[in-house]
A and B are shown apart, each in its own frame.
Chain A
Amino acid sequence: MPLLEVNGVNLSFGGLRAIQNLSFEVEDQEIVSLIGPNGAGKSTALNVLTGIYPPDSGEIRYRGTSLLGLKPHAITALGVARTFQTLRVFLNLSVIENVMTGAYCHSHSSLLATALRLPSWRREEMRIRSLAEKNLAFFGDRLMGYRHDQPAYSLSYANRRRLEIARAMTTGATLLLLDEPAAGMNPNESAEMTELIGKLRDEAGYTILLIEHDMNVVGNISDRVIALDYGQKIAEGTFESVTSDPKVIEAYLGHQTGGEA
């Protein structure tokens, strides 16, 4: 059974058909990339997967459980976490607190235990904190040490992207949906991010669905690539086969002079 199954999903905004009959699967421990020109519907697809927009029709299953009708937090609790293209870190919370918020869905201290700081609360808080520290440590020195207590707004864009990933990891998810994790990064940082996404799968065992415009990133780590255009899947397969597919080339050149490929 695939980890994630998307079957015949449709979504339109008024007259705009943002997602049309989209079907694909993601296997356990796979890295799948979604590509496509601007406005193709990639982010919208993630929004549908995470319950932000209910689809008009279609089926979405995670480990066989249907995600339809579930609130975003419930989907996260099942094990699907994401990052945002337009960075949505909690700017006025500290770095470590940002990451710790991710642990809400698998922590249980009661209000009473919290208000009285009972030992059970203490143990859980320790667990959350060390989990957050461990996940931040995944990014090497970038988010370590004194940075833990800095407010998130003091971070650079690249670090905010890393912070979002750490926050998603802390939810305890196995499937990470990353929306353009290398956007706004310089080539060095992109390369580092590519390596990191590989490590996320190889060392930490995550399954990853990735949206990315940077073809160096996509080409280096993807097991499989899915191309979207106007909300429709136009190609699927290995990086080489998809990027040489005439439909994909046309999609990129057709309405985007230059293209990134």
Chain B
Amino acid sequence: MPSDPSENGKTTPEKGAGTEPPRIGTDEWVAQVASRKRQTRGFSGWLAMRWERIPLGWRFGMVLSLLILIPLATNTQAFLDLLGISNNAFIVRTATRFLVFALLAIGLNVVVGYAGLLDLGYVAFYGIAGYLYAYLSSDFVRIGSLGIDGLHVPALLSIPLIIAVTAMVGWLIGTISLRLSGDYLAIVTLGFGQVFVQLVLTSTRVRVPWQDRPVNFTRGPNGINRLDDVTLFGYTFESTIQYYYLFLVLLVLVYIGVRHLNFSRVGRAWRSIREDELAAEVMGAPTGRLKILAFVIGAGIAALAGSVDAAWQGNVVPVPRYSVLTLINLYAMVVLGGIGSLTGVVIGAFIFTVLPEVLRSSAVAGVLFYGAGLIGLYFLLKPFKRYALILIGTVSSGFLLKFLVLTLLPGLHTGLPEPGSILNQAVQSWLVIPADYKLVGNVVTGLSALVLLLTILARQRPRLFYPLLGISIYMLAFSWETRLALEPSATRILIVGATLVVLMIVRPHGLLGKPEVRVV
């Protein structure tokens, strides 16, 4: 077979029996080049290799025990002292949110990652389940003529019911929208999600035939509150930590269930639909039914998360919880983690619930900002010598500039009224900060974005690149100190946005997703 060197399978005596590595040069050895490359690169490669050698069950157990320990470990005195906080309520709350989002993201992953359907109405299922739970488990539903003064259906009954109803809605939406393909499916489902939120917001004074007065179905933007806690077999979940463990159990069950589905006839069929719908249909998979099934399972998982989440939070509010913002968050998690990879999706959920919380504190955000900047710069400028040279050059130019300004234009530099932490003070020591730092900061912040982009463009031309890089560093530090650090709420979203763009460019297939091959 002279035409195809990788085809000479007949001449190699041993076939990959598994235990011993293939002989160098055989086609099996050639076929493994990619994975070998991945495994040997750098420290992370070494770590990944180590990690993959651990049996699957063990890996799962390790992560699980970590998750079980989080609320306990963060409650120890040593840990609280380390962070300088009085209790770990905030941490447990964030961790619980992470679990809720992980559940939701796994459901979305079934629809988007496996079946390849761009469902932009997914949060509506989460919302529908939340509202159904609110109706079934609070004083809200009052029908005088029937003597109903609030429904309090036991969770063991209500949650399966909610899942069933939401899944039916999913079936309906799926059936309707699957007449459309690709991006049209996306927009119709987006419309569906919007209609849900708008209806919740506006259905406060609806005239119904059987009542004289208009009925308030949703209490609009205020939402419904004072929902019952979940009670299972006589045990009532009340505190966040109790819900944390409830969600953890649910997550483990759903994770395992979905993983099993993925490696079965249904999962294979879904993935084949994502690859090539027509070929999948011709190979005997009823693609229409399978896509609807993905919709229904996604809706069911969202309903499970949504109803327990409503119970945990004790209320339901349409915006922002069930709005497009949450949808965007979920998509970011699924795509960032690596579409189709369950573990990746959970990691994505972790990053996108924890990162914004961490950025809330501007001290921590500053450490992250400068830390990430320094590390990123190192990878950009390796070897270390060049890296150090650039940094020293930039900082000393900064000091020189400051010295010149102080001697030539005394009075220009006034410094910030509140310099902030030690880190901030250290950075500010080489910045010229004028009295109207806010205005200047605004301009510099805008410009620094431009200069940074220019720097990226100029990276092939050292003469331009290094000076520009120095200027970018200076300007970014200036923007951070004078504006960004002072506006933590906007800045954290800015950083999340930048993270999304950069991560997509560096790893378009997500952290754990496999790079996909489309046409070869």
Chain A interface residues (CB < 8 Å from chain B): 50, 52, 71-74, 76-77, 81-82, 84, 88-93, 97-98, 100-107, 109, 111, 114-117, 121, 124-125, 128, 140-142, 144-147, 150-151, 153-154, 156, 158-159, 167-168, 171, 186, 188-189
Contacts and interface: CB of A to CB of B under 8 A. Distances in A.
A73 B265 contact: no
Interface in B6-60: 6-7, 9-10, 15-16, 22, 28, 31
Contacts, number: 133
A146 B31 contact: yes
B275 A93 contact: yes
A16 to B, nearest CB: 21
A171 B28 contact: no
Contact of A104 (B28, B285, B518): B285
A168 B264 CA distance: 19
Given A100-B268, A104-B284, A154-B31, 16 more contacts: A74-B286, A76-B282, A76-B284, A82-B282, A104-B269, A111-B297, A115-B261, A125-B265, A128-B265, A144-B9, A146-B16, A146-B22, A146-B28, A158-B4, A158-B7, A167-B283
A142 B283 CA distance: 22
B282 A116 contact: no
Given A104-B284, A128-B265, A93 B520 contact: no
Given A116-B260, A153-B520, A171 B10 contact: no
Contacts of B266: 111, 114
B16 A93 contact: no
A105 B281 CA distance: 10
A125 B516 CA distance: 26
A141 B268 contact: no
Nearest to A159: B7
B266 to A, nearest CB: 6
Interface string B248-292: 000000001110110011101101100110111111111110000
Nearest to B262: A114
Interface of B: 1, 3-4, 6-7, 9-10, 15-16, 22, 28, 31, 256-258, 260-261, 264-266, 268-269, 271-272, 275-276, 278-288, 297, 514, 516-518, 520
The residue in A88, A109, A171 that gathers the most chain B C-beta atoms within 10 A of its C-beta is A88
B285 A111 contact: no
A159 B6 CA distance: 11
Given A92-B514, A146-B16, A153-B517, A102 B278 contact: no
A56 B280 CA distance: 25
A73 B282 contact: yes
The 10 A-B residue pairs with the shortest CB-CB distance in the complex, in nearest-first order? A146-B16, A105-B284, A145-B15, A88-B279, A115-B257, A76-B284, A90-B275, A153-B517, A141-B9, A114-B264
